[in-house]
Homo-oligomer: A and B are copies of this chain.
Amino acid sequence: MSDLPSDSFAARYATEGFGIAHLPYGSFSTSDSDTRLGVRIGEHVVALTDLVSRDSDLFPLVDQPNLDALLTSDRPTWDRLRADLQSVLSSAADAERIASAAHPLAEVALHMPFTVADYVDFYGNEFHAANVGRIFRPEQPPLLPNWKHLPVGYHGRAGTIVASGTDVRRPHGLRPEADGVPSYGPSRRLDIEAEMGFVLGSPVPDGRVPLSEADNHVFGLTLTNDWSARDIQAYEYVPLGPNLGKSFATSISPWITPLAALDAVRVAPPARDTPLADYLDDAAERPWSFDVTFEVVLNGDVVANPPFASTYWTAAQMLAHMTVNGASLRAGDFFAGGTISGPEKNQRGSFLELTWGGEEPVALSDGSSFTFLRDGDEVTLRAEAAAEDGSTIRFGECTGRIVESPTD
């Protein structure tokens, strides 16, 4: 993109992280317009209907309130749309027209960018899984026997996935007590999980998406915070897994970064030390991890930098696994790769790990010490990646503030 005309819209309005090499999609509304699909350049959003010709076969897919219609389409269509957007945004001839149609971000409201079909949350990071094992099951090996043979995951609640900026009400539930009789009340161990989310499309009614097909079904990526009430979760989760400890809220960034924007940061996942079934064996496949480091920001303090590339299982493996039994893939299916942690203490993507089960409080810049989330606390996830043209890609932020839950 070195030939970007200096008087094009992209050249004039791009900011670091949101240039022509990024172009994340989102759903926005203004005070005088309904919700529309848009693309972000710098601190502006432009409706896709202002960038795609009415004569184009792409127009019906983008003349929409969100990505749902586009997700029913396919990789060649997604690539063609991105190329068209890059072309028009780079054109000097269109710059004035686009500038007059663009909306400053400060003047728009952002919404959930797609309708979530099914949501699967994986547990794909070895450092996280081993930390959790050490904290909860100190007498056992940190990883359970199945962990290196398949990407462990479970279905979460699609209906409570919310866009960044939505307040998160502290959940009530049954909390474990020393006498074995649970108490009912607000969670005392409210936590985050810093994760990468993957938005899926190009439906496969009979399932079975092999590793080699993952590029055709992963539309884009988004920062994801899978809020977790550790006390509720700990009491309920045997034997059928997490339920109310997770189902109250999962926040995602309203900006979906196209998969195609991340080619420059594709890297191989950690070395595999356990032989895999053929459908999971990615030794000969295109690398499917991403060199993206998160920032976990608590009330303005950066408290952790989880490195996504430390995740053992890749998104391609997760997709192959969740469909290998014949389960259909629908447009709008969504999965997250699991809490991201690295080998260092400041790389842990949950407060459960950062404070080692609440036993090692973290000092904050305001002089307080911290274990689990308090009412009023605000958590923001950020992440950056290198683009192919040498610029930077900034993922859209994922923010949520904890508010008191209503009394009973």
A-side residues, CB < 8 A to B, are 117-118, 120, 123, 144-146, 149-150, 152-160, 169, 171-174, 180-182, 184, 206-208, 229, 232, 235-244, 247-249, 275, 277-279, 321-322, 324-328, 330, 333, 405-406, 408
Closest residue on chain B to residue A184 by CB atoms: B277
Q: How far is the CA of A318 from the CA of B159 in the complex (A)?
A: 17
A172 to chain B, nearest CB (A): 6
A278 touches which of B156, B184, B275, B277 (Cβ 8 Å):
B184
A152 touches which of B123, B207, B240 (Cβ 8 Å):
B240
Instruction: Kindly list chain B residues whose C-beta atoms are within 8 Å of the C-beta of A207.
Output: 248
Task: Give the interface SS of chain A, mostly helix, strand, loop or mixed.
Answer: loop
Contact A145 B180 (CB under 8 A): yes
Contact A144 B239 (CB under 8 A): yes
Q: How far is the CA of A275 from the CA of B326 in the complex (A)?
A: 42
Q: How far is the CA of A236 from the CA of B273 in the complex (A)?
A: 19
Closest residue on chain B to residue A149 by CB atoms: B182
Contact A236 B277 (CB under 8 A): no
Contact A325 B229 (CB under 8 A): yes
6 pairs, CB–CB < 8 Å, chain A vs chain B: A149-B181, A150-B182, A152-B236, A155-B156, A159-B330, A240-B241
A126 to chain B, nearest CB (A): 15
A325 touches which of B173, B182, B279 (Cβ 8 Å):
B173
Instruction: Kindly list chain B residues whose C-beta atoms are within 8 Å of the C-beta of A327.
Output: 157, 159-160, 244, 247-248
